[in-house]
Amino acid sequence: MPARPTSLRRRLNSLHRNLRGASMVVRAFASTDHPLLAHIIPIRRCNLACTYCNEFDDVSQPVPTGEMFQRVDKLAELGTSVVTISGGEPLLHPQLDDVIGHIRHNGMIAGLITNGYLLVADRIKRLNRAGLEWLQISIDNVSPDEVSKKSLKVLDKKLQLLAEHADFHVNINSVVGGGIPNPQDALTIGKRAVELGFSSTIGIIHDGTGQLQPLNQEERRIYHEMKAMEKSSFTRINAFQDNIAQGLPNDWRCRAGARYLYICEDGLVHYCSQQRGYPAIPLAKYTRDDIRREYLTEKFCAPHCTVSCVHQVSIFDSWRAPQHPASPSVSPVNGDLVQIK
């Protein structure tokens, strides 16, 4: 269990983070012309090779730190509230702490999604000093298999180190759905996360285009039991998953490209990690006009989307600004958006 000074720092940090979050919620309702969340990729390479994942390679070099700073500055210029660093495996970037510090210097909330393999006590303390505010690790199973090595058996010691040293919030996400042979593992993972003082969420695994994979009866039972364990916070804005669990579409207004931006390692803005290719405008050239266009553009993939972060930020605008279909110059081909010349 964390020592008392660590627990006190964590509570104070949580209070400060919640106050900042509340002010950003007010700002989100007041104006629609700025992103609420951006995912930014400092490196596509990953030290793992989970067979279901389409977000990594094993060759890419880190994005130069100066370019990362420029992208963070641009996100701040656009009025972005939260910047989450993802990958690949972002801990492979040699100047990751500097990027986190630059996010905080610009007044934005700094988050990190990692597989956790590279976490040691000193690395966690460096993340504290950099100003990281929340971290998420997705754990797919209790024991590693041919699909995923992100297992509780491998990562439990890393979780114990986080419980002992991390000043930032930690969320552990487990999954159910297609490709996960032992759905009951999600419960074991969730209970361990809560035992260590972390929050726990459940995700429904998607296919290669971020689309719906309905749950079977046992998976639905585990999903509802996991939902009952979740505490109230922004990451628990996930009522849309109830329809996904039943194989039903959601009727919602996806604000990807506006309230949510996915910036790949090449510095291009995409709808999300599963719909890369449009608008594919360099972040450096992204404008308020681009935000306003995408805010009002209906996304063909929305009814069966399982990408939680986009659902969560779009909830702020669910009742306003009806959307219209995408330009006829944009068409889905095999689940990917392509520009028609």
pLDDT digits (tens, 9 = 90+) for 148-160: 889 999 999 999 9
pLDDT, mean of residues 15-27: 86
Total residues found in the chain within this entry? 341
Residue 151's CATH number:
3.20.20.70
Angle in degrees, 0-180, between the axes of helices 185-195 and 217-229, rounded to the nearest 10: 10
pLDDT recorded at residue 339? 45
Question: Which H helix or E strand runs over 171?
Answer: strand 169-176
In one letter, which amino acid is 301?
C
pLDDT recorded at residue 296? 97
Q: What are phi and psi of 340, to 5 degrees?
A: -90, 120
pLDDT band at 128 (very low <50, low <70, confident <90, very high): very high
Query: How would you class 329 by CB atoms within 10 Å of its CB: exposed for 0-12, middle for 13-18, buried for 19 or more?
Result: exposed
Which of the two residues, 329 and 66, has the higher pLDDT score? 66
User: In Å, what is the CA distance from 114 to each residue of 86, 88, 93, 98?
Assistant: 7, 8, 12, 17
pLDDT, mean of residues 214-223: 82
Range of the domain at 286: 4-339
Number of domains the chain contains: 1
Q: Does residue 140 have a pLDDT over 70?
A: yes
pLDDT recorded at residue 334? 43
In one letter, which amino acid is 204?
I
In one letter, which amino acid is 38?
A
pLDDT, mean of residues 82-100: 97
pLDDT recorded at residue 243? 84
Q: Which of 308, 310, 304, 334 is nearest to 212 (CA)?
A: 304
> Model's pTM, two decimal places?
0.89
